[in-house]
Amino acid sequence: MNLRPAPPWHQKGFSLIEMAIVLVIVAVLLAGLLPTISGQMEQQRRAETRKQLEEIRAALIGYAATQTPPRLPCPAKPTLATGTTGAGVADCTITPTRTGVLPWVTLGTNETDAWGRRFTYTVAYSGGGDFATSFTLSSTGNLNVLSTSTGVCPNVGCVGSNIPAVIISHGPNGLGAYTPQGTKLPNSTDTGEQTNYAGGITFVSQDPSATYDDLVVWVSPNTLFNRMVSAGKLP
């Protein structure tokens, strides 16, 4: 009796129908995984950007502690492309509200958030003094942060007032942000996001929604003043 196995070309393989079924199953499985992977990537970008914002806030306070008299840096011009003269450098000719992009070269921080857009940065210019020139323990910032675009400080919806500086990442949609090429992305239809890039003294920090995804942090006046006292810069 011949018990030798049949040659490979005699063995039965997958038919075209079976292969098609396998490919369909794989495609369905991948389609189910893609939203999960995409969501995880966005969470990672958001977490990375929040870490960057905290590092920027610390860098701003550290910068003030090295200046005599103490002061915060002015914003950088948002329309300058990366690598050109003056890009990322603090520029105190930006007036009257001193809103631009973060002076990443001056501070030694990252230029962009995790989505590749520049941070919007505003330093208090009027009210109790110009924090980009100098400040004392009696100085009062003129920037406010609200939990809703319809709020008013110091009433309902005010989460921060008398603020010296505000830093904003324009989130996943990036609407209203500046790119490293110095171009501004399209405007948002959300009133909160519109407020954040308008160049005023009021900003909105609220829960994410279908139209709002900005990340907003600010320099606390108490933290800033305490650090200056500890560094011997004030009073």
pTM of the model: 0.83
Chain-centroid distance of CA 18 in Å reads 49
Angle of helix 221-230 relative to helix 16-66, nearest 10 degrees, comes to 50
pLDDT tens string for the chain (235 positions)? 555 655 554 555 567 787 788 788 877 777 766 667 677 888 999 999 999 999 999 999 999 999 999 999 999 999 999 999 999 999 998 877 789 999 999 999 999 999 999 999 999 987 667 999 999 999 999 999 999 988 888 888 999 999 999 999 999 999 999 999 999 999 999 999 999 999 999 999 999 999 999 999 999 999 999 999 999 999 8
Domain ranges for the chain? 32-230
Position 151 scores a pLDDT of 86
Task: State the DSSP code for 17.
Answer: H
Contacts of 229 (CB under 8 A, 6+ apart): 137, 235
Kindly calculate the radius of gyration of the chain based on its CA atoms and give it in whole angstroms.
26
Position 97 scores a pLDDT of 77
Position 26 scores a pLDDT of 78
Please report which residue ranges of 148-220 form alpha helices under DSSP H. 191-197
Give me the residue label for tokens 């199953």: 25
Position 5 scores a pLDDT of 59
